[in-house]
Each structure stands twice: as structure tokens, then as C-alpha cells.
Amino acid sequence: MKKFDGKVAIVAGGARDIGRAISEKLAAGGAKVVVNYFSSKADGEATVAAIKKAGGTAIAVAGDMTKQADVENLVRATQAEYGDAIDILVNVVGGLVARKSLAEMDMEFFESIMRLNVTSTFLTSKLVTPHMGEGSAIVNLSSLAGRDGGGPGAAAYATSKGAVMTFTRALAKEFGPQKIRANCVCPGMIATTFHDTFTKDAVRANVAAGTPLRREGQAHEVADLVAYLASDESSFITGASVDINGGLSFS
């Protein structure tokens, strides 16, 4: 028997990079996975196809997790396919969008980052938790930036990711009596399109060289940690923000 047999998992932002690795990991453990994507139907369908090819169960559902109507549709689609109960929620949705100094930022940009990284986590948590029962788990994705303030031009992103950690602690306290756990994962430098887009190769090389393990992390390693926090193996862990950065920073 696999550890997620009979469980239903929603992975918000589950179609590419770390999200895809998480979707595939949960499905490999026996979960029925809902892969949410926003802009790329091809990524969503490719992730579902990979899961099914490996013998797993998954569907792809489009939606902007910053919009309540889209999150409501995600919940409806999940229940129509797999029944009323939802056991695992993983919030991967988020991003840097652009590197901007404080002088370069306007209110519209700052608020857009908050919506993307914090509002999305709030809405999915608010609308999914009524369908979660004892033993369910929420895992949110924060960042090392939420602990150390991030790199140049990442003030808004770092602030939003710090908020995700605090929100996770609040969820742990609110839903602990219902035996629903909430934890957070804080990745450092992980080899994904995020850094392909926003981090120069020389900077990545310097960061890897300064990391005790002397390399960047891989998406599947983050997925392994998420799966642990979503499983009964971590049944007495809640409210934690767990670092995964190769020793680059200690909290």
C-alpha cells in the first residue's frame, strides 16, 4: 500500500518545475492529484500525461488562484472528479515577476506581488479547508528570501514570502484542533525556470560555490520534502517553515 492511497491532493501551480515535481511525487505515492495551472494548458496536460504514464491518477484544471471564482471552480472540479473530501493542499503558486528597487516599484506592482504570492495562498486555504478532515495537510511554498530579504530587487517578493510563513503558522494554530496540519517549505537556489529567468548565470555559480553542498538544489528534492510534510510520517509537525537550501543559510 502506498502512503497516499485513497487521498485527494490539489497542487495549486502544479504544472511545471517544482509544482510538477510535487504533482508527480504525490501521484507516485498513490494520491489522486489535481494539477492546477494558469497560463499554460500544455504544461498542465503534459504533467497529467506523465503521471498517467507512470500509472498514477490526475486531472488538470485551469485557474487564476488570485481570483475567488477560479478557486471555487478548482474545488468544484476536484469534487466532481474525486468526491467531496480533499486531503492535501499544496500551494506552489507564486513568483518574483521582476526585480525592482524600492524607487522603481509603484503601488500596482507591489500589490500584484502580494496578490500572486499571498492572496492566492489565502484563497485556496479558505476555500479548501472546509472540505478537509482529520489527518489532512496543507503545505505552502515560501522561500529563503522570506527569511533573509532576498537578493537585489526582490523586496516585494521577499516580503510576500515572509507573509506566507506567518500565514502558515496562523493556519497551524487555527486548524490544529481539527487535526489539520499546515507547514511551509523554504527553498533556496533550486534549478528551475525561475532562476533561468531572474538570476544571472554568474550569480548562480557564485551561490552554488558558497553553498556547503556546492550545488543548486533540484525540483525533485523539494518535492520529496513536500511529500513528507503532506504525509502521516510528519504527523506531529505543524506550523514549521522548513529550509531546503543545501546549507546556504541556517534558521
Q: Which residues of 80-98 are buried (b: 16+ CB within 10 A; e: fewer)?
A: eebeeebbbbbbbbbebeb
Q: Give Cβ neighbours of residue 166 (< 8 Å, ≥ 6 apart).
A: none
pLDDT of residue 155: 98
Amino acid identity, residue 81? E
Amino acid identity, residue 191? A
CA-angle at 50, arms to 34 and 44, nearest 5°: 45
pLDDT of residue 139: 99
Packing angle of the helix pair 155-175, 107-114 (nearest 10 deg): 30
Catalytic residues: 157
Domain boundaries, the chain: 8-241
Residue 95 near residue 39, CB atoms below 8 Å: no
* Average pLDDT of adjacent 10-residue blocks, the chain of 251 residues: 96 97 98 96 98 98 98 98 98 96 98 98 98 98 97 97 98 98 97 78 88 95 98 98 96 84
- Rounded CA-CA distance 204/239 in Å is 30
Could you tell me the three cell numbers for 13? 501551480
H helices of 83-154, in order, are 107-114, 120-128, 145-148
- Rounded CA-CA distance 77/96 in Å is 29
- Rounded CA-CA distance 187/238 in Å is 18
210: how many CB neighbours lie within 10 A of its CB? 12
Q: Which fold has domain 8-241?
A: Rossmann fold (3.40.50)
E strand residue ranges, the chain? 8-12, 32-37, 57-62, 88-91, 137-141, 181-187, 241-244
